[in-house]
Structure 1
């Protein structure tokens, strides 16, 4: 069967011939996307956009009716020595109320002495109010209230005033996100540059991949702003885009440049070396990028808008990085030639090592190939041991106080409020829609709900009702028993939905009574994620299988790829559970275990890791297949492929681990979980999996690696390297002349 035209080689050859067009075209595209994105502005998700299930429908009913519930806020007045009856304590409460009211931003301010929001031991009082105006922008307008309370707090040294609520909590998260994003930029980039300097030993060669990755991220940011007009995105999406863009952008360039340098070291001329790099590493980059993008597309099956934003952002940055690696990178390399090694660092000079098929494998690889079964069993056992804590993984939608650092003032206030006034920070919100909300039947139903809810013990006072007569909607705020998210609160929510509401507010079939609020949202969100696991996993693994089958024309290789990637993923799950749920070594990453994994994390980590793992797998197996296609036996091809790619895979893995580890040092809990999970998985994947498990399994399988059923012979045969004009004898090493001629054939299409 005739081999298919190598698209990567064609693009590389075109770019090398049209250097200025490729370079200035890239710069123009980056600038144009940045300008257009800046003009459009990034559209963020509203609170209703996050919802799903019953709580999502409750939020949608309010949005459709044009009802926006004001953002609730609380001020905790606390003293270890004074009690609520002491004059100084009362004065602090009065001054806090006056400070809040004086900003003109508050409404419905509740005096704790009138609402009864005083703790049993009298050392705490809770002032509740709502922020005027659009709740979606309340976080941007809450600062004057924060400042006014800070002044009142200074005037009362014997009393502490702490603020927490929807606006102040979101502001705290946004501030932390901004600080973390800046910190990640200023840490990850220099760290990646330092590693690249060590890898290449030359300043220019080290800077080039970083520049391409950064420009890819900038272009993707602009494109994301445009696409967000159709699919709004979460505030964390920019950080996810940066993380992915830096990781894959640098890696793709690294694969390309290292192969070009290797071919130059083997005696190729500049043009041939670049063309061979395009045909081999370029094709691996193309296949890897498509695989990563397809894996990210699996997030569309989650049914959650926040995941759709993540998917779009990562797909955009990955495809832009692939396009840059296949076009502008060859153009710049053709311009520079051997000058790419300019700016050599004393003591770090690196020479590309040319590996030959008959070369003796290193000590570790030699041991693996001599006893593949032993190393396969030990490697798999080790990964499964790491994965074992994941059997007890608990996921939940982390609250503001869990996401923020434990020593954050807002988080501390939230935790104090939860412990002293259970249910107050996050009451259930029942949206009651009926034909006539002012009718005797409706008011009687609401009264009956209050009576039954309080009698059940699952709901506490104060139950507050806000009636929107013109919309025939009543919004009922009902504090749940428990702390708002523990088992007691979950049982209260179940009782509310399953018994209390049907018996009181849903007597008429036409009435709607939907439960929202933080706990309901978290419960529905988790349920949706759990139901989406099977379709997401099936899509990602199914399409990955098809791509690997198409690339290598081997179902065995495709299945091996999936199994090895799954081992990396479950090992990451185990480490995340051990650190962030069980608290094993949590102090090593500068955090305190919150007892759960962020609900969206397992699904997102699976999709990202499955895509990224294919980077190394495609690159390594392509090199093995390249050797095998040249007539080298299976085990010798495995040894050659592993040794030829060991340096670049280790370097690329180290860069990815460093970038992800930076996110593991940030303050936000979800960043820590994401960073640690990805860093551990990539480290295992680039070392244990690719250096031990992959060669061990391929050595055990032998010639079966390349078995193709007769009914799949129609699959196109893709070139993985230099094509000799005539088949080489089995187990014979092609000559340099044959390799050079085949490179010309592969890359020019002649």
Structure 2
């Protein structure tokens, strides 16, 4: 692999315009095709086989309006002393209802419902299913808020959940600015700083543009580009940073530009391939979840990461070849191509006190991870949004006027094709349940054999009590009424759907974690020809992931420092976030593991001195890993500036994981455990070690050993 990568890198450096031209042609074709033929990205939050999906399927098959999305128009008098019972305000409310009913794709605008105190009016709008809607429908709905009226108008509902997506622009801009500053400090050269930035932005633009074409193969969720941009920007700059650092080291040894680029791609590029492969494997492991939109989101993110890997080993070498020796010019500060002695002193210090540092770091990580035991999966509702958002203001008005449960009604779909007489008994039983505040009169479609009940819980969408009510309806209320009937009843609606998805994810999470760890361990075993190193890496990554989950619980569930990130209230963790975060964090954690251990292994093959090799690995990668981690952390933290609590969870969780992994794990636990385990780190069963390239290097002639250890001295040594 290294010789092939060397030839690829050297070719790109010698013929940069050929490679750059090829990328430009591909980018032009993809962007043009995306603009002309790309399909929109759609959100579908169901999961096959769950009860809420059965409700949606039943209503859809019957052509019932309730199968589609809803929106809420909430009004209140601008005058704090008036009520909606006055004739003038009633007339204004009627005009608003008529305007709402005339909006495109609105199937029905219900009659206004007035709260008992007369201060809040609610109009429910019924839309068709998501596949028949466009983001423009949400924009049309928003025009109602600009209507000249004595009533203040606020908006909310499913339509916002489907189409009101967080914008990545601010996060990307802040992340890029931080990356520029950090790379300038790391490289001290404007050109050396600009190459990773340019490659990452180009690759990200190409990958994100391609997503609308990928939808011809699989439906992708509309939030995939935002999450993909967050991860793609971070890994793209990180991978480029690793390769550029190696290239500058080889240039400082007197290599020609083409030879240096080829050698950097052969060594650091191989680490990028394995690191990127680990990220892709971890994210693709989301298929185990059995939730289509989670799997689709993972595929989209994996595609972006894969594009960044390919750009790192082809486009970046072309940029490096084009820059030539100018990469070290236009300096803003002088930085030696090799790291200073500070990292060496630190690594030596940790090795001398390995046991103390290993115990202390482990205790710290366990303490940070302890809150995971209190993790509560649920559905954050619009009450978690900032008050600047109309959905939040609508939520508060509805909760104050009608009760919190009105923000998350349950849709009960009943198959009455073989027993129409069950509608009234079922209606009475649902209305009598302790967790139900009210039930609208049944909507019966005799021809289709379907009845629909809209039940309003006594508690809000994110409350545990609401989930308990849903479970009780399914396990107790429905069976008691339908025991001797062929009719079937199902609970649907957004609240029930997200609860079902959460239950599915929780059931599959252990299998998912096991699958990702197994695949990653196998990959690292192949890379390093060691059983101990991969197992140790997996355990340490689990600790860093647990710490990030613990911080998420402390901030979002317990409210610690919530004000600092603009969170107005505590909220549960969205069901699919733990699984998605685990995939991303585990992959990114393995990135730094591969980068560090590759250097340690190279030195160990050359010297057979485990302690010296560990110190060498920390010394040569400390500055690079720290710079890469700072870039990643800044990118992730910048995404927490979004209004969406989900984006905040992802951003802070990923930033915490990278911070812990690049400091406590890589700079303390790794050198401490490597020292304590000694040569046992590299133990391998004979059957696995038989064909190891590292073993071949140990017994080969010095030139070949140097080549396999990643320190090529000439074109000839690598070609051999």
- What stretches of structure 2 of length at least 5 have no aligned partner? none
For 1:135 and 1:14, how far apart are their aligned partners in 2?
47
- Show the 5 A alignment for 1:730-745: 744=715
1:314 aligns with 2:301: yes
For 2:336 and 2:284, how far apart are their aligned partners in 1?
39
1:420 aligns with 2:401: yes
For 1:108 and 1:40, how far apart are their aligned partners in 2?
32
Q: CA distance change for structure 1 residues 720 and 301 in 2, over 3 Å: closer, same or farther? A: farther
Question: Would you say the 8 A contact 2:556–2:572 is kept in 1?
Answer: yes
1:376 aligns with 2:368: no
Q: CA distance change for structure 1 residues 459 and 563 in 2, over 3 Å: closer, same or farther? A: same
- Show the 5 A alignment for 1:157-168: 159-168=151-160
Q: For residue 632 of structure 1, report the CA deviation from its aligned partner.
A: 4.6
For 2:406 and 2:462, how far apart are their aligned partners in 1?
12
Q: State which drifts further: 482-491 or 680-689.
A: 482-491
Q: For residue 450 of structure 1, report the CA deviation from its aligned partner.
A: 1.4
Counterpart selection for 2:208 from 221, 224, 233:
221
Q: Which residue of 2 aligns with 1:82?
A: 82
- Show the 5 A alignment for 1:450-489: 450-489=427-466
- Show the 5 A alignment for 1:173-322: 173-174=164-165, 177=166, 180-322=167-309
Q: For residue 517 of structure 1, report the CA deviation from its aligned partner.
A: 1.2
1:97 aligns with 2:107: no
- Show the 5 A alignment for 1:95-134: 95-101=95-101, 108-112=108-112, 117-131=113-127
For 1:544 and 1:685, how far apart are their aligned partners in 2?
17
Q: State which drifts further: 472-481 or 88-97.
A: 88-97
For 1:130 and 1:741, how far apart are their aligned partners in 2?
67
Q: CA distance change for structure 1 residues 691 and 127 in 2, over 3 Å: closer, same or farther? A: same
Q: CA distance change for structure 1 residues 125 and 144 in 2, over 3 Å: closer, same or farther? A: same
For 1:182 and 1:567, how far apart are their aligned partners in 2?
32
Q: For residue 702 of structure 1, report the CA deviation from its aligned partner.
A: 0.6
Q: Which string of whole-angstrom CA distances, capped at 9 and with x for unpartnered residues, describes residues 43-98 of structure 1?
A: 43354656661101222233345545354333333354334544555454344334
For 1:417 and 1:340, how far apart are their aligned partners in 2?
60
Q: Which residue of 2 aligns with 1:398?
A: 380
Q: For residue 246 of structure 1, report the CA deviation from its aligned partner.
A: 0.9
Q: Which residue of 1 aligns with 2:325?
A: 338
Q: State which drifts further: 213-222 or 615-624.
A: 213-222
Q: For residue 498 of structure 1, report the CA deviation from its aligned partner.
A: 1.8
Q: Which residue of 1 aligns with 2:9?
A: 12
Question: Would you say the 8 A contact 1:241–1:314 is kept in 2?
Answer: yes
For 1:498 and 1:543, how far apart are their aligned partners in 2?
38
Q: CA distance change for structure 1 residues 618 and 498 in 2, over 3 Å: closer, same or farther? A: same
Counterpart selection for 1:353 from 338, 343, 346:
338
- What stretches of structure 1 of length at least 5 have no aligned partner? none
Counterpart selection for 1:410 from 391, 414, 437:
391
Counterpart selection for 1:31 from 15, 28, 32:
28
- The two structures, once aligned, show a CA RMSD in angstroms of 2.9
Q: Which string of whole-angstrom CA distances, capped at 9 and with x for unpartnered residues, describes residues 349-406 of structure 1?
A: 3231267xxx79644322201110001111111111111222211111323443x324
TM-score by length of 2: 0.92
SS at match of 2:133: helix
Q: CA distance change for structure 1 residues 170 and 572 in 2, over 3 Å: closer, same or farther? A: same
SS at match of 2:168: helix
- Show the 5 A alignment for 1:297-696: 297-345=284-332, 348-353=333-338, 362-402=344-384, 404-422=385-403, 423-435=405-417, 441-442=419-420, 444-505=421-482, 507-509=484-486, 511-696=487-672
For 1:165 and 1:361, how far apart are their aligned partners in 2?
54
SS at match of 1:395: coil
Question: Would you say the 8 A contact 1:631–1:728 is kept in 2?
Answer: no
Q: State which drifts further: 223-232 or 599-608.
A: 223-232
For 1:143 and 1:18, how far apart are their aligned partners in 2?
49
Q: CA distance change for structure 1 residues 22 and 85 in 2, over 3 Å: closer, same or farther? A: closer
Question: Would you say the 8 A contact 2:39–2:212 is kept in 1?
Answer: yes
Q: State which drifts further: 477-486 or 642-651.
A: 477-486
For 2:711 and 2:542, how far apart are their aligned partners in 1?
39
Q: For residue 25 of structure 1, report the CA deviation from its aligned partner.
A: 1.8
Q: CA distance change for structure 1 residues 698 and 278 in 2, over 3 Å: closer, same or farther? A: same
SS at match of 2:438: coil
Q: CA distance change for structure 1 residues 106 and 539 in 2, over 3 Å: closer, same or farther? A: closer
